[in-house]
Amino acid sequence: MVRGIYTNRTLNLRSIKAVGYDMDYTLIHYHEREWEERAYSYIKERLLGRGWPVEDLQFQPDLVMRGLIIDKTLGNVVKANRFGYIKRAFHGTTPLEHGQMREAYTRTLVDLDEPRWLFMNTLFSLSEASMYMQLVDLLDADVIEAKLSYADLYALVRGALDQAHMEGRLKGEIVEAPERFVALDEEMPLTLLDQKESGKKVLLITNSEWAYAAPMLAFAFDPFLPGEMTWRDLFDIAIVGSRKPAFFTARMPTFEVVSEDGMLREHVGLLQPGHVYVGANASLVEASLGLKGEDILYVGDHLFTDVNVSKSVLRWRTALILRELEDELAAIDSFRETQQQLTDMMARKVEMESEYSAYRLALQRAKGNYGPDPARAPDEIQAEMDAHRAKLLALDAEIAPFARASARLHNERWGLMMRTGNDKSHLARQVERYADVYTGRVSNFLHATPYAYLRSHRGSLPHDEV
């Protein structure tokens, strides 16, 4: 089900007393191509300004996807499984062959605590990562003059970006023409209103500043709220410029927005209902509402900032918004029949492999003249074994195109976001660890109602299929 809510840890929405929301890519979804293309063009402009020969570079939206990892040491982008083993890799924009990958990573596990690795946490990381891959190509071709290491190159791209400035410009353009960038969701305001009317506190906690958040929420929410109601009436407490993740870990000062043009006044004491604040911190939110971590559900799209930190530090309940899940589930669904054929063939292969192993062992015993049944001649066993092997190779040839198609599902280069082969991807593991539930969009909670009891999936263990 493309619009489902998927549960890692059982979550009873009835016992949730407050629901906090991130804004960008959570309450407001952007057409990511449009957004990323603009972001990419800003990076390119900056690099051109530094005299880099990047005029011919074009944004390639499918070059990367969320959940991949940049290896700054080798100039690669990799996809790892849940244990951190690297299962697919690109150097620049070129895929590594199996042998090259083994050579590069045979003794290497991805550990996101090491500075070598950079995890693509959100949809925001895509333009930067695409540019990095293309620049690695240029660096290898000696088109970029400076003798940089791949890590230097990354640092330079990052530094040249001036992310805050770039985001400021992009957001300026979005406020000018929100209809071009925002994918409206009429059900979103009703989802929050249902939660509010059911007695829950509804909170906004966004890093976006007042000057951006206010017009965007007015655009995305006000037309779909009843009567004269505006987004301001929807949120019990609204916090803009929240500086997550520090919001969750430090006791930062609070300011109140006291005029429509965003004038600030320092605020001391508990947060008051109906007011808009800047800064503040999670402990103050808990104290102001008289609530503890497990009473609060926080909903966001940033795997580290929104979900990992709030869960690890404060034990808030967490929901991750993963819009790409909709495409991924649709791709899986369209592949269902082929997948069944592939699964059947794989089962046959497993069976034939075990028969082949039995032949090998019989031959070994016959030659060594030991074991329970040495009666058959080695030549006879060898002949049967050869015939069996030919059948196995034929089956492999039959499987190959199916396996290739399966590996290209969702993204031609990288395959599915949540899987590596049959295993969970590194992204899926992060989601499982930190997100109590995950879903494609906030409005999926509308259909679940504020009273849903979301029960965790029984999951699967290797012995389940016995």
Contacts with Mg ion by CB under 5 A lie at 22, 24-25, 301
β 317-321/437-439 pair status: parallel
Q: How far apart are CA 437 and CA 426, in angstroms?
A: 17
Residue closer to Mg ion, measured from CB, 301 or 436: 301
Which two tokens mark 376? 């058959």
Query: 24: which DSSP letter?
Result: B
Q: How far apart are CA 243 and CA 208, in angstroms?
A: 9
Distances (CA, A) of 80 to 20, 109, 290, 405: 31, 9, 41, 19
Phi, psi of 240 (to 5 degrees): -110, 165
Q: What is the 3-state secondary structure (H, E, C) of 288-319?
A: HHCCCHHHEEEEECCHHHHHHHHHHHHCCEEE
**Number of helical (H) and strand (E) elements in the chain, helices listed first:** 17, 21
Q: How far apart are CA 137 and CA 75, in angstroms?
A: 9
* Longest CA span, the chain: 95
Residue closer to Mg ion, measured from CB, 11 or 204: 204
In the complex, minimum distance from the CB of residue 159 to Mg ion, in angstroms, rounded to a whole number = 23
* Torsion sign across C-alpha atoms 17, 23, 24, 29: positive
Which two tokens mark 388? 């069996």
Which two tokens mark 313? 């530090």
Residue closer to Mg ion, measured from CB, 11 or 303: 303
Which two tokens mark 205? 């906690």
Q: How far apart are CA 423 and CA 258, in angstroms?
A: 52
In the complex, minimum distance from the CB of residue 241 to Mg ion, in angstroms, rounded to a whole number = 14
Measured at CB, which residue is nearest to Mg ion?
Answer: 24
**Looking at beta carbons, which pairs linking 385-391 to residues 24 or more positions away fall under 8 Å?**
385/356, 385/359, 385/360, 388/352, 388/355, 388/356, 388/359, 389/356, 391/352
